Amino acid sequence: MRRLKPDPVPNELIRKILEAGVCAPSGGNMQRWRFLVIRDPKVKQTVGAFYKRAWDERVAPRYRAGEPAPGTSPELFLRLLDAAEYLANHIHEAPVWIVPCLEGDAPTHWSGSSIYPAVQNMLLAARALGLGATLTTRHLLFEKDAEAALGLPPGVHSYAILPIGYPMGKFGPVRRAPLKDVVYQDKWGQPYTAVAG
């Protein structure tokens, strides 16, 4: 959900979302995650400017020049892009951000395995509570500047921003490619017989 109302979200709901996050697994159960809750309009405005710049300069041109996402029609894909652009223009207006972070050295390919399960739990909890949220990483195109604006200390890295608020619209069905297009059996490209057909 990328279109969020600016209405305040009670701390109790954010606490429930965070509790769901810390119930997730993490590598070696080290729990090196840290979660920065942002309500400060100045911080959101500053980081939001990097987010919008990333959208305008790099992300939007690539998406608008490409093919529709799997499982969508060109019309539905344009609606998705419009929602993403809305978020780029209004992310700073979301009443609450949760910024999932990890303590430790520079991020690696496997670092996400210790933070993204927590992110998924938080997204599911937000929806269960009637709140809209999305996982977005556009700020990482300007990682050093965005993390400085977030006030992260050395050795702490952000992995996403979860803007959270009450949805402007209704939750609809997700559109995904059929399993037969994305699941293989035993070797790459060989159809998985249980879903082929």
Q: Which carries the bigger pLDDT value, residue 103 or residue 1?
A: 103
Tokens of 113: 């395995």
The phi, psi pair for 157, rounded to 5°, reads: -130, 140
CATH of domain 11-181: 3.40.109.10
Q: pLDDT value at position 109?
A: 67
- Give the residue among 44, 53, 52 at the shortest CA–CA distance from 6: 44
What average pLDDT does the segment 56-60 reach? Answer: 90
Q: Where are the domains of the chain?
A: 11-181
Is the pLDDT at 41 greater than 90? The verdict is yes
Q: Which carries the bigger pLDDT value, residue 49 or residue 182?
A: 49
Tens digit of each residue's pLDDT (9 = 90 or more) over 113-149: 889 999 999 999 999 999 999 999 999 999 999 999 9
Kindly indicate the confidence band of residue 197, based on its pLDDT and cuts at 50, 70 and 90.
low
Tens digit of each residue's pLDDT (9 = 90 or more) over 133-192: 999 999 999 999 999 999 999 999 999 999 999 998 787 667 777 888 888 888 898 888
Alpha helices in 129-187, H assignment, sequence order: 143-150
Q: Which residues pair with 132 in a beta bridge?
A: 165
54 exposed, middle or buried (CB, 10 Å; 0-12, 13-18, 19+)? Answer: buried
Q: Which residues pair with 184 in a beta bridge?
A: 191
CA distance 133 to 124: 9
Kindly indicate the confidence band of residue 80, based on its pLDDT and cuts at 50, 70 and 90.
confident
